[in-house]
Amino acid sequence: MQEVAYGESDDDHGVITVLYGFMSAYSRNTGASQAGQLQIIGDFFLDSGFSICDSTIKINFLHMSDPVIKRALVSVSDKTGIVDFCRELSLLGVEIFSTGGTLKTLQDAGVAAASISTITGFPEIMDGRVKTLHPKIHGGLLAVRENADHVKQALDNGIGFIDMVVVNLYPFEATVAKPDVTFDDAIENIDIGGPSMLRSAAKNNESVTVLTDSADYAQVLGEMRAGAGATTRATRLMLACKVFELTSRYDRAIAAYLTGAEGAKVEGAAAGMTVSLEKELDMRYGENPHQNAGFYRLTDTEGSRSFGACFEKLHGKELSYNNMLDIAAATSLIEEFRGEDPSVVIVKHTNPCGVAQADTLVEAYRRAFSTDTQAPFGGIIAFNRPLDMDTAVAVNGIFTEILIAPAFEDGVLDLLMKKKDRRLVLQKQPLPKGGWEFKSTPFGMLVQERDARIVAVEDLKVVTKRQPTEEELSNLMFAWKICKHIKSNTILYVKNRQTYGVGAGQMSRVDSSKIARWKASEVNLDLNGSVVASDAFFPFADGLLAAAEAGVTAVIQPGGSIRDNEVIEAADANNLAMVFTGMRHFKH
């Protein structure tokens, strides 16, 4: 063994001996009596796994045990479980220091806890903005216990080690999600001391246990009981990882809010974007069983968006990755008819296979189903009205994956829950409007505004000699709302506020038209007197002529082709009414 006076070293051995001379420096800073110095310093080092030999302190780097937790700093905004946790810490002999509301909560509950000021020797100031930003806090967290120089500096400055930090942060994301939040409220909910303590503790995870989540309290207590007051290295590292995930997400949320604040907004897509993703739900798998997947709460400049904010699953199996895509597709479309006559949307693989409006919800469902009587099996159905018993009985006749409604009338859930695998989803509030849409590619992220712009009747441009009739205009507007939600290339036939033929996702617009006509013929729906919608312009007159042959009387399309005049002439020659929207709706 090598014994080295302070300031010397030799890398040939794993043991450093720190001479008893540290004690005089410690005495100057703590006021300890000469007789008690050896015991005090012994305790100081023993807490960190060191050994004492006569008047020397020997630090064995090769055989350090997990550090015993003797002192804990606790300061939480979310006080879930904190009283019980700290009571158990106290029973394990841990000395607890706390701040503000947390200190009061613990003391009111009879848990022994002292103010952080007893460590810092400095009061909380500036409305609590400054309380833990102090060398005696961060020195106690960051000191490397195996480093003799760090230990001497701690002794010289009267800094005691802090072995545990329990902190969660001011609820910034919840605050800015409130519709009436002010800029000043948001700023006051930016936590400074909390992230600083968390990062210091997490950096020194060799010696410090740091907790940000009440879900981890039980595991830590269990390890302390089993380990004579210590936690395992694996747990400390896991908890440290959670800290840096939390603080990075927290900072991204702040940056996103400030980026979207008045005076900081930019036109178009910003040069940089801050997006935070936090797992909300586990998925059994992705689109296919061999793909891992999860569902994440998203926070960006527009605020936070989550499944739980909009929906509640009332019954059925876990929601899958594909279910989530279909729920998004079905609800995005049904919300086009919010506040309108009873409407029903049936979706399969994110494409609508039947949509209808009627005087009653059950009639709307029957008409939507009649568009395609095969695809709805295993499909997703969304309603714009509370689901009533008549409609529920009709829907119950086939197997459906998911039913989505803003409410369920009395007795409906009892009926529908008899099929255990069917998911029943309550839509609690409208989907967030606008904002940015993110699509991942293997080489980067595409970002665009959501396709949320609405075309009103007054925005339409009649380009043919014949004006559309009132009934044709109603069906054209109905078709245009649906058209934007179908995969391109899209051709859609509509009659009497019901889809008659859906041609989706074909490489050729002509093929989409053929499929739409074929689907209508399969269920004996007569296209005579129908209208047709196209998500993009007709590049040639042949697509419009095919629609005319099918019996169409009116057309809605964006316009904008270099051959618009040819298409318009063909429409006039067949006495069709045609309107341009001036807005394309490609969907990929």
Question: SS3 sequence, 361-380?
Answer: HHHHHHHHHHHCCCCCCCEE
DSSP 386-404: PBPHHHHHHHTTS-EEEEE
Asked which of 223, 257, 291 is the last residue of a domain, the reply is 257
Would you tell me how many other CB atoms lie within 10 Å of the CB of residue 528?
9
352 is a domain residue = yes
Identify the three-state secondary structure at position 219.
Answer: helix
Q: What pLDDT is attached to residue 267?
A: 63
273 is a domain residue = no
Q: CA 350 to CA 384: how far, in whole Å?
A: 18
The low-confidence residues of the chain, meaning pLDDT below 70, are 1-65, 128, 131, 260-270, 301
211 is a domain residue = yes
Is the peptide bond preceding residue 322 cis, with omega within 30 degrees of 0? no
375 is a domain residue = yes
In the numeric block, which tokens belong to residue 560? 């904008």
- Check whether residue 126 and residue 247 sit in a common domain: yes
- Check whether residue 77 and residue 190 sit in a common domain: yes
Q: What pLDDT is attached to residue 62?
A: 34
The C-alpha R_g of the chain, in whole angstroms, comes to: 34
Work out whether strand 71-75 and strand 95-98 pair parallel, antiparallel, or are unpaired: parallel
162 is a domain residue = yes
What are the phi and psi torsion angles at 197 (to 5°)?
Answer: -65, -40
Q: Which of 349, 419, 487, 514 is catalytic?
A: 349
Q: Reply yes or no on whether 242 is catalytic.
A: no
Q: What pLDDT is attached to residue 99?
A: 86
284 is a domain residue = no
Number of domains in the chain: 4
- Check whether residue 237 and residue 347 sit in a common domain: no
- Check whether residue 342 and residue 422 sit in a common domain: yes
- Check whether residue 95 and residue 243 sit in a common domain: yes
Q: Reply yes or no on whether 484 is catalytic.
A: no
Angle 374-377-381 (CA atoms, 0-180°, nearest 5)?
A: 110
- Check whether residue 157 and residue 252 sit in a common domain: yes
Asked which of 222, 257, 292 is the last residue of a domain, the reply is 257
Q: What pLDDT is attached to residue 566?
A: 93
CATH number, domain with residue 329: 3.40.140.20
- Check whether residue 133 and residue 24 sit in a common domain: no
- Check whether residue 347 and residue 214 sit in a common domain: no
Residue 519 and residue 546 in contact, taking contact as beta carbons nearer than 8 Å? no
- Check whether residue 191 and residue 333 sit in a common domain: no
Q: Which of 150, 203, 487, 514 is catalytic?
A: 203
* Per-residue buried b or exposed e for 8-22, using 16+ beta carbons within 10 Å of the residue's own CB: eeeeeeebbbbeeeb
- Check whether residue 235 and residue 201 sit in a common domain: yes
288 is a domain residue = no
46 is a domain residue = yes
- Check whether residue 50 and residue 108 sit in a common domain: no
Which residue's entry shows tokens 């910034």?
Answer: 172
Q: Which domain holds residue 570?
A: 457-580
CATH number, domain with residue 210: 3.40.50.1380
Asked which of 257, 291, 321 is the last residue of a domain, the reply is 257
Q: How far is CA 454 from CA 78, 340, 451, 488, 535, in A?
A: 42, 15, 9, 19, 14
Residue 299 and residue 276 in contact, taking contact as beta carbons nearer than 8 Å? yes
Identify the three-state secondary structure at position 492.
Answer: strand
Q: Which among 420, 330, 335 has a CA at the least distance from the CA of 380?
A: 330
- Check whether residue 205 and residue 329 sit in a common domain: no
Residue 554 and residue 472 in contact, taking contact as beta carbons nearer than 8 Å? yes
